[in-house]
């Protein structure tokens, strides 16, 4: 009996204690709400006041809240661009193995521009292979072949190629003496973009080897074209005239172009076994004087009697010199 009364008393005390705690927490919550409510209201007022600094007319949907413009990414401009050129006599006729070797020689030098003269395209003696097209494919270049004359099942002429994006192509069959039965000659040219907004011309030719009268007509055709070009221009090829002869071709071109080398001490490129003259010239012009010659010489390998002539140029991309 006493034990039962003791348990009832304990339970009663626990119940009263729990009831008091509940009343205490209810009172505490009420006081907390009373404190929080004015604080929350003040914060709302502050947020509304801050938003009024830059308002938006809800009736005008063309007005947007202020948003800072992102900073443009920094563009690092190149100060200069170097490129390599190669001028090659490709008169290989039925020398199929020689053609494969010449492809490898060009790959070895790895030029940015290539000029091929006396090249077969789809002729019987070349096994109907489009030699200019094969070289362009092997080097990953673009360009075109100018057919100077039809021959067998294809053509024979000049080709010009570039690794840079081509903006335009140009070719012209050059003049010769009326009723002349000599082989037709051509001038070929590309305009390319070596860097965004920076364009360069690359051109090539081979002039008549036998008649000075024909060469005079042909160089007049060429200078009529090149004299109108102010942008950087590299011009290569066989002029079939030696500096010592003081002929009309070099005299005409020296008025417009700077040569990689002229006169005594220049590197000769033919005949390959014992060179005695220059048969592939490399020259250049640039009104802004941003184009300069870095190196010049012959490539030591060839499958015909002419060693290829090569050069490296530097193009200033930033400053226009005066």
**How far apart are alpha carbons 14 and 300 in whole angstroms?**
110
Q: Are 199 and 193 in contact (CB under 8 A)?
A: yes
**Which is nearest to 204 in space by CA: 192, 220, 186, 218?**
186
Q: Are 142 and 169 in contact (CB under 8 A)?
A: no
What pLDDT shows up at residue 76? 54
> Angle of helix 96-109 relative to helix 131-139, nearest 10 degrees?
30
* Block residue for tokens 């024979």: 156
Q: Which two tokens stand for residue 163?
A: 């690794």
What pLDDT shows up at residue 9? 63
**Which is nearest to 111 in space by CA: 141, 81, 149?**
141
What residue spans of 255-320 are helical by DSSP H? Answer: none
C-alpha R_g of the chain = 41
- 263-318 pLDDT tens trace: 888 899 999 999 999 999 999 999 999 999 999 999 999 999 999 999 999 999 98
Question: Would you list the domain boundaries of the chain?
Answer: 1-48, 80-316
What pLDDT shows up at residue 179? 72
β pairing state of 186-195 and 198-206 = antiparallel
What pLDDT shows up at residue 117? 97
CA 187 to chain centre: 24
- 170-197 pLDDT tens trace: 999 999 998 777 899 999 999 999 999 9
What pLDDT shows up at residue 278? 93
Q: Are 60 and 67 in contact (CB under 8 A)?
A: no
**How far apart are alpha carbons 296 and 184 in whole angstroms?**
29
Q: Are 77 and 319 in contact (CB under 8 A)?
A: no
What pLDDT shows up at residue 43? 45
**How far apart are alpha carbons 99 and 130 in whole angstroms?**
11
What pLDDT shows up at residue 57? 53
Q: What is the pTM of this model?
A: 0.76
**How far apart are alpha carbons 189 and 205 in whole angstroms?**
9
- Residues in the chain where the model's pLDDT stays below 70: 1-77, 319-322
End-to-end CA distance of the chain: 123
CATH 3.30.1490.20 matches 80-316: no
Q: Are 278 and 235 in contact (CB under 8 A)?
A: no
């Amino acid at each position: 009996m006493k034990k039962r009364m003791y348990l009832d008393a304990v339970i009663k005390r626990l119940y009263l204690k729990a009831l008091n705690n509940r009343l205490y927490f209810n009172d505490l919550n009420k006081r907390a709400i009373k404190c929080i409510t004015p604080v929350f209201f003040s914060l709302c007022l502050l947020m509304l006041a801050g938003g009024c600094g830059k308002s938006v007319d809800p009736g005008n949907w063309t007005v947007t809240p202020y948003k800072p413009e992102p900073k443009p990414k920094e563009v690092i401009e190149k100060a200069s661009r170097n490129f390599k050129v190669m001028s090659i006599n490709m008169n290989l006729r039925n020398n199929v193995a020689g053609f494969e070797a010449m492809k490898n020689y060009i790959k070895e030098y790895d030029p940015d521009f290539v000029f091929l003269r006396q090249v077969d395209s789809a002729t019987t003696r070349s096994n109907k292979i489009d030699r200019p097209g094969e070289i362009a494919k092997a080097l990953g270049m673009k360009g075109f072949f100018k057919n100077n004359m039809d021959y067998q099942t294809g053509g024979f002429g000049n080709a010009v190629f570039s690794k840079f994006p081509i903006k335009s192509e140009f070719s012209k069959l050059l003049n010769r003496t009326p009723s002349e039965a000599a082989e037709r000659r051509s001038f070929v040219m590309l305009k390319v973009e070596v860097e965004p907004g920076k364009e360069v011309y690359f051109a090539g030719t081979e002039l008549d080897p036998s008649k000075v009268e024909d060469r005079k007509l042909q160089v007049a055709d060429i200078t009529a074209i090149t004299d109108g070009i102010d942008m950087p221009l590299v011009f290569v090829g066989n002029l079939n005239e030696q500096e010592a002869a003081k002929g009309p071709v070099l005299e005409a071109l020296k008025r417009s172009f700077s040569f990689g080398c002229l006169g005594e001490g220049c590197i000769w490129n033919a005949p390959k076994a014992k060179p005695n003259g220059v048969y592939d010239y490399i020259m250049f012009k640039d009104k802004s004087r941003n184009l300069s010659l870095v190196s010049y010489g012959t490539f030591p390998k060839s499958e015909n009697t002419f060693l290829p002539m090569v050069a490296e140029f530097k193009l200033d991309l930033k400053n226009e010199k005066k």
